[in-house]
Amino acid sequence: MRFLLAAIALLGSSNSVITAFAPPTTINQQHPITTALAAKGGKLSVRPIGIGSCAPSTVITNSDLESVHDTSDEWIRTRTGIEQRRVLVHEGTRPIVGSDGETTESPETLRTLGIEAAKQALEMSGKSPADIDLVICATSSPDDLFGDAPSIASAIGIEAGQCVAFDLTAACSGFLFGIVTASQFLTNGASQNALVLGADALTRWVDWDDRNSCILFGDGAGAMVLTRSDENEGLSGSEDGFGILGYAMHSNGGGYKDLNCIYKGEPKKIATPGEGTVLEDGSYDSMGMNGRKVYSFATREVPTVLEEALEQAGINVDDVDHLLLHQANIRIMETVASRLGMPMEKVITNLYKYGNTSAASIPLALDEAVRSGQVKKGDVIACAGFGAGLSWGAAILKWG
């Protein structure tokens, strides 16, 4: 259902191209595939007008992990760029200030992080909950297996039946895939205003006995409000009504073994007639990752997909004000920037504070950049997400 809704949206836009079930091909020699999925397109009549984020209150520093593993702050920082991460904890709470000024402790879950991020994005956008008619929550680790988007929509005041809300799963590419999908709904007239969230709690699924992976991840949520615009709506100068200038997205299931979190059921026998029937109690194994292959995949494919998106936008690297990548590893960011010929001064990053927050990482970083004044109205931002699937994509945004 999630993929069907996204595919319908993509097919509904006249300037989008989607290819699926292509003849057998090879994206790279390590991951031969028989099903190539790709989508790309140019300008979309939407504008990003609000951004928000929220992270858990509990902080685990690199120094804290020295008592867990044979590691050090210096070892982690020099290899990843991470100094600390925010994590959701068992039965965690966070202080909430009510309208009466009183502070109470409220449960802290991935859903409540998403609710707070969504409220911040709505406030910045100037839109009310009644204006939102599409909510997409990009997540691989929802509180509710059936999806968090509908309950988040309800919690922020969107009335029942007012909007369509659904989750989208594309791992660390999820937020980028989500804003492109929402933009298709807006551009084809199905919706007027969309709220897109990226929220993940991968610390629930990481193997904390694995020194190489547990140091990388944190939890968090971010949200963006997109509004439908008209290229002839009277905006002046460079404000032509297009907030997504171009995009490109890819998937390669041939590489799923390099980064995954696989279903792991435990046998459960029920007393049906005869010898009974052995079913399964559902659960998932810890996340598995081949770090070397994922690093190679990211540094190879991300510069290429950014160049594809720039080509779709009809601009070049010199026209880009900021580079915003999924916050996975500072070395990946440095390599991608170098291959594009962009200085690190243009790279937006807050990886050192949050670690890899999967689908939340792009909106978490963009929120801080906008609120600090680093990103200004009209700035062009080249964004790219990449991760499990394998999946990767890029979009060229114009802020505000």
Residue 356: active-site member: yes
> Of the listed 54, 193, 356, 383, which one is catalytic?
356
- The question of whether 326 is a catalytic residue gets the answer yes
153: buried, middle or exposed (CB in 10 Å: 19+, 13-18, 0-12)?
buried
The structure tokens listed for 324 are 């915003």
Q: Is 162 helix (H, G, I), strand (E, B) or coil?
A: coil
172 is catalytic: yes
What CA–CA distance (Å, rounded) separates 301 from 17? Answer: 19
| Closest among 295, 294, 292, 270 to 280, alpha carbons compared | 270
Return the CA Rg of the chain.
21
Asked if 86 contacts 220 with a C-beta cutoff of 8 angstroms, the reply is: yes
Half-sphere CA count of 258, side-chain side, radius 13 A: 21
Angle at 87 between CA 372 and CA 54, to 5 degrees: 35
Residue tagged active-site, from 54, 172, 214, 383? 172
> Of 137, 326, 329, 383, which one is the catalytic site residue?
326
**Contact 124/225 with Cβ under 8 angstroms?**
yes
Active site residues: 172, 326, 356
